[in-house]
Amino acid sequence: MSSETTVIQQSCDEEKSQLGSKNITYNEIAGKLLQDKFLLTALELHTELVEAGKEIRQLKDFFSNPGNFEFQTHDLPTHLTRSGSQVTLDSLDLTRYSEDGGGTDERVAVLEFELRKAKDTINALRNNLTVATESENNSPTKGQLNPTVGGIKPHEQRALNFLINEYLLIHGYKLTSITFADENQSQDFDDWDDVGLNIAKPPELLHLYREGLKQTGQNTNAASTQTDHDKNKEKIKTLEIKIEELKAKLHKLEHDNTELNNNNLKLQEDIKLVSNQLADISQSTIKSCMNESVGSESPERFEFIEKNMPIFRNKDSIEDNISNSSINTSEWMNVCSPTENSDSGKTDRKIEDKMKSLEINRSEDPFMKEVFERCYTSTLQNIDSDMIEDIVNETITADNFVNTVSSSLLKIIPNIILNKREDVIPLLIDVVHLNPKASERDKLLQQLFNLKKKPSEFERSMILTGLIAIAKLCGESMVENEILPQCWLQLTHKHIERRLLVAETCQALLPYVSSPIRNSLCLSMLQQMLEDKEEVVREVVIRALAVLMTFCNDDDKYFQCEQLAVNTLNDSSNSVVNTSMQILFPVLGKWALEKGHLSSSLMKKLLNKLNYYIKDTESPTKVNQSSDKILRIINVIENLLPFLLMSVATHENIMSNIEKDMAMELRPDFKNLCTYLTNPEIFYKCDVNCGMLLYEYDKYIAENPNMSWLEIDWIVDVMLPDLFNNLHHIEITQQSLLQSFINLFSHICIVFGTNFTKFKIRPLVQNKMQSLEQVISSFNQFCPSLNIIPVYFTVLTYCGDHEELITTLKKFLCALPLCGSPLDCLEITIRRLCEAGLQDIVIECLWSGIVHQRPLVRSAAASLFSSIIGICSKDFLKSKVTAALVTLASDNDILVRTATIPALGNLITDSTVKEIQDKAYMQLQTYLSDSNLKENHTFLRQLIVTLGNIVNSCSDNFRNDGMYLFV
């Protein structure tokens, strides 16, 4: 009898061990709970998983669908929940995990902490009480069949109550269980720790009853019998059973090993077949695609070839990775994942279609390299993880998979804490790649995204590296069907770090998705993330958009991307706007140039925006906001000027005059104005040298000044008049806007060259100047806008017509004071001329005003001299400027002497030459000692203002002997 009991006990133990070793997932638990209608338990599991960051899609979809709770009848479940609670779904607060309740998060956290602390205290007291009660009496000895039973102890009563309630629930006694729970309200039947923390939970009540029967036994008479042979037989039978089981396991293992070997041989044959097919077509398909400049290799061939992409620099093979040889092409396109058998014809067609879908060889495109260098996420920068680098650069096989698992586990086991979870990434990469089940891959990818609740920059870089490795190994299908949906689910995650991870993932995976998905799903995701409330997320999205535009060739998507780019100029963050102006718009400009939308769409839209914001500056409430937007648009237009130049210079009459073998450097002034992305040598792909192209363009304009074509007509007839009209509406007090417009016209002259400025721009400005002169000469009360004056002198400076410049400057020096017009624009003009190295011309023109017979002109000359003291050289200050001011200071007209006072003060504050300062001190001392001048209030007020400006800069002698005595 005892031997049979032993065998049964062993079988039970084996079943328990098998059940214990089975890995039950949360999805299976959720499915079982929903299937058996355990909605409360399923809801509690769902909320716990949400708090832990492991949300299950099955539970989320079920509880988000109200139709799941519209039951007409309710099936009685076979098993009941362990809780006797009467709580229903209607009484639960389903919105307490909403992100909208952020205002109470802090209070909830405090209450949860206090609750945990109280529970710890209760458990500690219960533990002490349990130990005390257990130490009073020892358990009865085995020899005592009927031990003396004393009074029941508190923890024993709680244990029996727990087991009785568990028995009632398991066997369907619902009402009895509820009654029993109500009668024992002081006990929590959902938590065994309520019984005693140091007491192990015994088996269920039925198991204890059966064990009790075994120990008590039946009443029998003792008799001596020979049992040695029976025991030996039982042992032999047990051993025979074990031997049979081991043989069965051995047979199964041998069968599995045979299947694995066959699969391995099959995979090796498939790999050789695909490699041979790639080698056969490499001499024909790839070369023909490259010669026609239509085909290209995989985007993996270029995106990580710069210095900030060390993961793809595989020691001494970097040249091979970016070369165009057919051998390397077959190597980097080698299939390393299991493939199904298919005929060679289908394989050839798939590869040819893949080749044709890649438009350009981006590994040789410097513009693309620069965009990726500025925008693409550097996944492994400053990351010391040789294991991930080996996975990315090597084919995964069964051997190195075992090595990876072993190495990763050595790190995972001792470092299961949060700050070491990135050590599991190599293992996840391998498992996702080799796992054939899509559902399990989805869970693994979800785990990869959810490794950290708030991943740091380093941790995000590690996760991105893993995702890129999976994309390289598994191809477009995995990225489009499994990785991107994970990104979509976390677009609106409450943590900024997770949204940053999504944006960086979209950016990193753009080269690994097909064009339709890139232009639809990826673009939609980036468009949605452009509205993120955090500027750092929006900045990453703009860089991702720039990468997307470099791949996009869909003309229908151009206008959508253009509108997105224009909208970024309204962003409240300066860093986001600067990123857009410096990276996104140059990429968009190149795309617009290639598609023919530069002047007809992009520039036209920017000019319309500029017109709209210029009108807003007339409103006092909108002037500051509109001014910022105007400056941004002007900056964008300046960045797009090189693209506009190439659209003009690539006319067939110019291209036909260029010899392909000739080369020339770009004009230095133009090259210094360009950034790397706006340099024509970088963004413009042509058979001829860009320097020669622009040289022939400038030469053609000089030889054919009256020749014009569509692109030039748009600039001369649309863009420039529109800019002149906007310039006319700028107030003279808006100095920043006025200076930005003047700089824009200066850059237009530099970009389009001397001859274009001379024959196309100068006539337009001259017409504006003639109209202005007519208004001024009429001496009516209307004061026209003088903003065109500094623009005209900028054009004359670039054309090199100094005679016209001197004549016009002298003319306006006399005309503006006499008609009572302000001198601000003239002051801006002479300052810019001095900064351009034309100080001698400026001083020559101002000297003509000193000797003018009209006091208003002499006063204007004194004011203009005052504005250039700080930017004139010491030689000019000594020889001409100081002498001119001393002459004006001795003028008979009090108005002229009054206008000279600020200039004398500037000589003291802006000059370091003692000789010049002494002359200024002497003249001011003369004014201070002249009692007659003190009667003129205008003179006296100007003198006091100037003394206040120089009090901190003047010498002690002048301050003590002159200023204090005057006061």
pLDDT tens-place string over residues 528-557: 999 999 999 999 999 999 999 999 988 889
For 445, the enclosing helix (H) or strand (E) is: helix 438-449
Q: What tokens appear for 932 in the block?
A: 């007659």
Mean pLDDT of 717-742: 92
Q: Give 25-68 as a DSSP string.
A: -HHHHHHHHHHTT-HHHHHHHHHHHHHTT---HHHHHHHT-GGG
Mean pLDDT of 731-746: 92
DSSP 145: S
**Residue 194 pLDDT:** 73
* Residue 360 pLDDT class (50, 70, 90 cuts): very low
Whole-angstrom distance, CA of residue 853 vs CA of residue 851: 6
Q: Report pLDDT digits (tens) over 121-159.
A: 776 666 655 555 555 544 444 444 444 456 787 778 888
Whole-angstrom distance, CA of residue 61 vs CA of residue 404: 36
Mean pLDDT of 564-568: 94
**Residue 339 pLDDT:** 37
Mean pLDDT of 610-634: 80
Candidate ranges 390-399, 787-796, 954-963; pick with highest mean pLDDT: 787-796
**Residue 960 pLDDT:** 65
Using the predicted structure, report yes or no on whether residue 401 has a pLDDT greater than 50: yes
**Residue 372 pLDDT:** 72
Last-in-domain residue among 15, 48, 68? 68
Q: Is residue 782 part of a domain?
A: no
Out of 48-62, 497-511, 600-614, pick the least confident: 48-62
- The distance between the two most distant Cα atoms of the chain, rounded to a whole number of Å, is 151
3-state secondary structure of 863: helix
Give exposure, 880-918, as e/b (b: 16+ Cβ within 10 Å). Answer: bbbebbbbbbebeeebbbbbbbbbbbbbbbbbeeeebbe
Q: Report pLDDT digits (tens) over 208-261.
A: 787 777 665 555 454 545 555 566 777 787 888 888 888 888 878 888 888 888
Q: Is residue 180 part of a domain?
A: yes
Q: Is residue 399 part of a domain?
A: no
* Residue 280 pLDDT class (50, 70, 90 cuts): low
Using the predicted structure, report yes or no on whether residue 588 has a pLDDT greater than 70: yes
3-class DSSP string for 759-803:
HHHHHHHHHHHHHHHHHHHCCCCCCCCCCHHHHHHHHHHHHCCHH
Using the predicted structure, report yes or no on whether residue 266 has a pLDDT greater than 80: no
* Residue 743 pLDDT class (50, 70, 90 cuts): very high
Q: Do residues 344 and 385 lie in contact, with contact meaning Cβ atoms separated by under 8 Å?
A: no
**Residue 744 pLDDT:** 96
Last-in-domain residue among 189, 215, 241? 215
Q: Is residue 591 part of a domain?
A: no
CA 880 centroid distance within chain: 57
Task: State the number of CA atoms in the 13 A half-sphere of 882 facing the CB.
Answer: 22
- Give the sign of the dihedral formed by CA 448, CA 449, CA 454, CA 456: positive
- Give the sign of the dihedral formed by CA 700, CA 702, CA 705, CA 710: positive
Residues 37 and 124 reside in one and the same domain? no
Q: Report pLDDT digits (tens) over 630-643.
A: 999 999 999 999 99
Last-in-domain residue among 171, 199, 215? 215
Question: Which residue spans within 84-212 are E strands per DSSP?
Answer: none
Whole-angstrom distance, CA of residue 506 vs CA of residue 504: 5
Question: Structural domain tally of the chain?
Answer: 2
Residues 204 and 125 reside in one and the same domain? yes
Q: Is residue 43 part of a domain?
A: yes
Q: Is residue 51 part of a domain?
A: yes
Whole-angstrom distance, CA of residue 38 vs CA of residue 722: 71
Q: Is residue 183 part of a domain?
A: yes
**Residue 207 pLDDT:** 75
Q: Is residue 589 part of a domain?
A: no
Q: Report pLDDT digits (tens) over 42-63.
A: 888 888 888 888 888 888 888 8
Using the predicted structure, report yes or no on whether residue 268 has a pLDDT greater than 70: yes
Candidate ranges 297-306, 822-831, 910-919; pick with highest mean pLDDT: 822-831
Mean pLDDT of 425-454: 80
Whole-angstrom distance, CA of residue 710 vs CA of residue 712: 6
Out of 373-377, 501-505, 674-678, 831-835, pick the least confident: 373-377
Nearest to 332 by CA among 360, 306, 296, 368: 296
Instruction: Provide the domain limits for residue 164.
Output: 108-130+154-215
CB neighbourhood size of 641 (10 A): 21
pLDDT, mean over the chain: 77
Residues 125 and 198 reside in one and the same domain? yes
Whole-angstrom distance, CA of residue 87 vs CA of residue 90: 8
Give exposure, 123-151, as e/b (b: 16+ Cβ within 10 Å). Answer: eeebeeebeeebeeeeeeeeeeeeeeeee
CA dihedral 409, 413, 414, 418 (to 10 degrees): 100
Residues 116 and 30 reside in one and the same domain? no
Phi-psi region of 374 (alpha: psi -120 to 50; beta: other; left: phi over 0): alpha
Give the whole-number percent of the chain exceeding pLDDT 90: 30
**Residue 473 pLDDT:** 86
